[in-house]
Every structure is written in structure tokens, then in C-alpha cells.
Amino acid sequence: MSIKTIKANITRLQAQLWRNRQYLRHTQKQLALIARASPASGHRSRQQLRALKAAIARDSASLETLNQALIAAIDSQANPQIQEILTRRYLGDEPFAAIAAAMGYDLRWVYRLHARGLAAGAEPQDKREH
């Protein structure tokens, strides 16, 4: 999986986790209100809560796996400058202009090194070893 794909999946999972946590809080508040009104609706709400908690746990585990894959893909880069650019971009979420300024490089050079890093990360493992 490419670095960009991993980062896109991480961003998607973070948004999904945020939505599920918001929905969990809302459902917990609703459960407190309806538990007194009807046992059946309280039971449905408790089932929803269990499903949401399971989804949050599953998504959190997937997010951790993707973060580890992203770190491994960045650490597999041979060039330390490319590693730093990819780390700042994909782990630090820094814009390219800030990366160029911090590293003392021209913005176009940062773009080129970034492209090289992505291309190297997309190569199969056996090709890189030869």
C-alpha cells in the first residue's frame, strides 16, 4: 500500500472515529432520557451503544495498524532528507512550504524529493533489494 493511500485511510478512519464518538455521546444522553419511558426502547439503545463501542474499538485498532504501516513505509526510505520530508508531511501534517522553509530547501526541490520518496515507497520490496 502506498504512503498516500495509507494516509488517506488514516484520515478517513479518524473522521469515522470522531463521528462514532459523537454519536455514542448522543446515544448515551438519549438512553438516559428514554430508559424510564419504555424498556423496549432502552434495550434498543443499549444494543446501539454496544455496537458503537465495538465499532470504535475496531476502528481504533485499524487506525493503529495503519499508523504503524505509515511509519514503517517512511522509515524504509534510504535517503534521510526524504524521510524527514515524508515524516513532516504525513505524520506532522505540515504544508510543503513550511517543510521547505524548515529544511532550507527550495519548494520545488521538496516536491521532487517528495515524489522520489513516494515512488520509492511504491516499488515492491524485492525490487528495492536488488
CA distance 99 to 84: 9
Residue 128 DSSP SS3: helix
Asked whether the beta carbons of 123 and 3 are under 8 A apart, the reply is no
**pTM higher than the cut 0.85:** no
| Amino acid 130: pLDDT | 46
**What cell does 116 get?**
522520489
Amino acid at 42: G
How does pLDDT run across 20-79, given as a tens digit for each residue?
899 888 888 877 777 666 666 667 777 888 888 999 999 999 999 999 999 999 999 999
